[in-house]
Amino acid sequence: MTEEILNKVYEPDKVEEKWAVFWEKERLFHAAPESTRPPYAMVIPPPNITGSLHLGHALNNTLQDILARWRRMSGDNVLWLPGTDHAGIATQNVVERQLAKEGIDRHTLGREAFIQRVWKWKETSGGTIVKQLKRLGASCDWERERFTMDEGLSRAVREVFVRLYEEGLIYRAERLINWCPRCRTALSDIEVEHEESRGKLYYIDYPLAEEPDQRITVATTRPETMLGDTAVAVHPEDERHRGRIGKKLRLPLADVEIPIIADPAVDRAFGTGAVKVTPAHDFNDEAMGKRHGLPFENIMTPDGKIAETPRTRTFSGKTISEARSAVTQALEQLGLLRKVEDHTHAVGKCYRCKTAVEPFLSTQWFVRVNDPKNSLAGSAIEAVRKKKIRLLPESWENNYYGWMENIQDWCVSRQIWWGHQIPAWYCVGRDVGQCGIDCKEPIVARARPEKCPRCGSADLRQDPDVLDTWFSSALWPFSTLGWPSELQPTPEKRKEAEAMLKTFYPTSALVTSFDILFFWVARMIMMGLHFMKEVPFRDVYIHALVRDAEGQKMSKSKGNVIDPLEIMSKYGTDALRFTLASMASPGRDIKLAEERIEGYRNFANKLWNAARFIMMSLPEESERATGGAGTLSIADRWIQSRLHRTIGSVNQSLGNYRFDEASALLYQFIWHEFCDWYLELIKVDLQDGSEAQKRGTAATLTTAFETLLRLLHPFMPFITEELWAHFPHPGENLAVAPYPQADAGKLDAASEGIVREIIIDAVAAIRNLRGEMNIPPSEELGLSISVDRDQGRELFERNLPYIKRLARVSHLEIGVGLAAPKMAATVLTGAAKIYIQLDETRLNKEIDRLEKGLAKLEKEMEPVEKKFSDPLFLSKAPKEVVAKLDLQRGEMREKKYKMNNDLQRFRGMIDSK
RNA sequence: GGGCGAUUAGCUCAGUGGUAGAGCGCUUCCUUCACACGGAAGAGGUCGCUGGUUCAAUCCCAGCAUCGCCUACCA
Tell me phi and psi for residue A360, to 5 degrees. Answer: -140, 140
User: What's the Å distance between residue A614 CA and nucleotide B8 C1'?
Assistant: 40
Strand B close residues, chain A 218-237, CB < 7 angstroms: 219-222
- What is the value of pTM for the model shown? 0.90
* Distance from CA(A822) to C1'(B45), angstroms, rounded: 39
Q: Does the CB of A776 fall within 7 Å of any strand B atom? A: yes
Read out DSSP for A685-715? HHHHS-HHHHHHHHHHHHHHHHHHHHHHTTT
pLDDT digits (tens, 9 = 90+) for A56-92: 888 999 999 999 999 999 999 999 999 999 988 888 8
- What is the rounded CA–CA span in Å between residue A632 and residue A624? 15
Instruction: Look at residue A3 in the predicted model and tell me its pLDDT.
Output: 43
Distance A572 CA to B36 C1' (A): 20
Q: How far from A797 is each of A434, A785, A800, A803, A837, CA to CA, in Å?
A: 108, 10, 5, 10, 20
Q: Give me the pLDDT at residue A431, please.
A: 62
Minimum-distance residue to B34 (CA–C1'): A613
Other residues' Cβ atoms within 10 Å of the Cβ of residue A100 = 11
Residue range A273-292: mean pLDDT, rounded: 86
pLDDT-derived band at A2 (thresholds 50, 70, 90) equals: very low
For the cut 60, the answer to whether the pLDDT of residue A743 exceeds it is yes
- Return the closest nucleotide (C1') to the Cα of A591: B12
- Answer for A852: CB within 7 Å of strand B: no
Cβ neighbours of residue A203 closer than 8 Å, sequence gap 6 or more: A217, A218, A219, A271, A272, A337, A338, A339, A340, A341
Q: Inter-axis angle of helices A55-73 and A634-655, to 10 degrees?
A: 120
Q: Is the CB of A591 under 7 A from strand B?
A: yes
Kindly give, in sequence order, each residue whose CB lies less than 8 Å from that of residue A127, ignoring residues fewer than 6 positions away. Answer: none
Percent of chain A's residues with pLDDT above 70: 95
Q: Is A168 left (phi over 0), alpha (psi -120 to 50) or beta?
A: left
- For residues A28-57, average pLDDT: 90
Say which residues have a Cβ less than 8 Å from residue A130's Cβ, sequence separation at least 6.
A82, A84, A145
Q: Is the pLDDT of residue A558 over 80?
A: no
Question: Which residue's C-alpha is at the least distance from the C1' of B37?
Answer: A602
Per residue in A583-617, is it b (16+ CB within 10 Å) or e — as a string? bbebeeebbbeeebbebbbebbbbbbbbbbbbbeb
| Residue A626 confidence (pLDDT) | 57
Chain A residues 521 to 550 with C-beta below 7 Å from nucleic strand B: 549
By C1' distance from the Cα of A517, the closest nucleotide is B70
- A256 pLDDT higher than 70: yes
Shortest CA distance to A827 belongs to which of A785, A867, A865?
A785
| Gap from A721 CA to B66 C1', Å | 48
User: What gap in Å lies between CA A888 and CA A131, rounded to an integer?
Assistant: 58
* Nucleotide whose C1' lies closest to the alpha carbon of residue A613: B34
Higher per-residue confidence, A511 vs A6 = A511
Burial status of residue A523 (CB atoms within 10 A of its CB: 0-12, 13-18, 19 or more):
buried
List the A168 CA – B5 C1' distance (angstroms): 40
What span, in angstroms and rounded, lies between the C-alpha atoms of A695 and A685?
A: 10
Pair A699, A629: CB distance under 8 Å: yes
- What's the CA A678/C1' B25 distance, rounded, in angstroms? 28
Can you tell me the distance from the alpha carbon of A831 to that of A788, in angstroms, rounded to the nearest whole number? Answer: 8
Q: What pLDDT does residue A555 have?
A: 58
Distance from residue A380 (CA) to nucleotide B64 (C1'), in Å? 39
Confidence tier at A438 by pLDDT (50, 70, 90): low
Q: Phi/psi at A662 (nearest 5 deg)? A: -60, -45
**Whole-number Å distance between alpha carbons of A192 and A348:** 6
Residue whose C-alpha is closest to residue A310's, from A353, A255, A273, A270: A255
Whole-number Cα distances in Å, A278 to A142, A299, A657, A800: 53, 10, 50, 90
Name the closest nucleotide to A881, judged by C1' and CA: B18
For strands A274-277 and A231-234, give the pairing. antiparallel
Q: Could you tell me the distance in Å between the CA of residue A583 and the C1' of nucleotide B13? A: 8
Rounded distance, CA A248 to CA A205, Å?
14
Q: Is the CB of A661 under 7 A from strand B?
A: yes
CA distances from A331 to A256, A297, A803, A868 (A): 15, 20, 92, 82
Q: Are A46 and A148 in contact (CB under 8 A)?
A: yes
The answer to whether the C-beta of A406 is closer than 7 A to strand B is yes
| pLDDT value, residue A1 | 41
The reply to whether A828 Cβ lies less than 7 angstroms from strand B is no
What residue type is assigned to position A465 of the chain? D
Strand partners, A80: A42
Q: Is the CB of A892 under 7 A from strand B?
A: yes
State how far the alpha carbon of A821 is from the alpha carbons of A377, A721, A781, A837, in Å.
81, 55, 14, 7
Burial class (CB in 10 A: 0-12, 13-18, 19+), A799: buried
Quick one: pLDDT at residue A18? 92
Q: What is the pLDDT of residues A419-433, one digit of tens each?
A: 999 999 988 766 665
Q: How far apart are CA A861 and CA A895, in angstroms?
A: 11
Distance CA(A812)–CA(A806), nearest Å, equals: 13
* pLDDT tens readout for residues A768-803: 888 888 787 777 788 888 888 888 899 999 999 999
What mean pLDDT, rounded, does chain A reach? 87
CB A748 within 8 Å of CB A638 = yes
**Beta strands A781-787 and A809-816: pairing type?**
parallel
- Residues 871-890 of A near strand B (Cβ < 7 Å)? 872-873, 876-878, 881, 884-885, 888
Q: Which residue is nearest to nucleotide B3 (CA to C1')?
A: A399
The residue ranking higher by pLDDT, A2 or A740, is: A740
> What are residue A246's phi and psi, to 5 degrees?
95, -20
- What is the rounded distance in angstroms from the CA atom of residue A497 to the CA atom of residue A484? 8
User: By the 8 A CB rule, do A758 and A787 touch?
Assistant: no
Task: Tell me the three state secondary structure of residue A217.
Answer: strand
Q: How far apart are CA A859 and CA A843, in angstroms?
A: 24
Q: What is d(CA A375, CA A365) in angstroms, rounded to the nearest whole number? A: 18
Q: CA of A895 vs C1' of B25, distance in Å?
A: 33
**What counts of helices (H) and strands (E) characterise chain A?**
31, 29
Rounded CA gap, A2 and A14, in Å? 20
Nucleotides of B under 7 A from a protein CB: 3-6, 11-15, 18-19, 22-25, 28-32, 34-42, 54-56, 68-75
Q: Within 666-685 of chain A, which residues have Cβ less than 7 Å from strand B?
A: 667-668, 671-672, 675-676, 679-680
**Residue ranges of E strands in A281-336:** none
Report the DSSP beta bridge partners of residue A410.
Answer: A367
Of A619, A543, A542, the closest CA to residue A583 belongs to: A543
**Greatest extent of chain A over all pairs of C-alpha atoms, in Å:** 127
Q: Is the CB of A402 under 7 A from strand B?
A: yes
> Which nucleotide is closest to the Cα of A346 by its C1'?
B72
- Looking at the C1' of nucleotide B38, which residue has the nearest alpha carbon? A606
Distance CA A673, CA A638 (A): 10
ipTM of the complex: 0.94
Ranges A364-368, A521-525, A781-785: which has the least confidence: A781-785
pLDDT of A426 reads 85
Q: What are residue A275's DSSP bridge partners?
A: A233
Q: Which nucleotide is nearest to A6 (CA to C1')?
A: B34
Rounded CA-CA distance A876/A607 in Å is 50
Report the SS3 class of residue A325. helix
pLDDT of residue A550: 59
CA triplet A747, A731, A34: central angle to 5 degrees? 105
Q: What is the pLDDT of residue A479?
A: 96
Looking at the C1' of nucleotide B71, which residue has the nearest alpha carbon? A403
Task: Give yes or no for CB of A589 within 7 Å of strand B.
Answer: yes
Q: In whole angstroms, give the CA distance from residue A226 to residue A222.
A: 8
Is there contact between A860 and strand B, defined as CB under 7 Å from any strand atom?
yes
A719: pLDDT strictly greater than 70: yes
* A298-351 per-position pLDDT tens digit: 888 888 888 888 888 888 888 888 888 888 888 888 888 888 888 777 888 887
Asked whether A900 and A857 are in contact (CB, 8 A), the reply is no
Per-residue pLDDT of A96-137, as tens digits, reads 888 888 888 888 888 999 999 999 999 888 888 899 999 999
Opening angle at CA A780, ends A774 and A786, nearest 5: 95
Strands in A7-95 per DSSP E: 39-43, 77-81, 83-84
Nucleotide in closest CA–C1' contact with A587:
B5
Backbone angles phi, psi at A245, to 5 degrees: -60, 130
Instruction: Tally the residues of chain A.
Output: 913
The DSSP output letter for A553 is: B
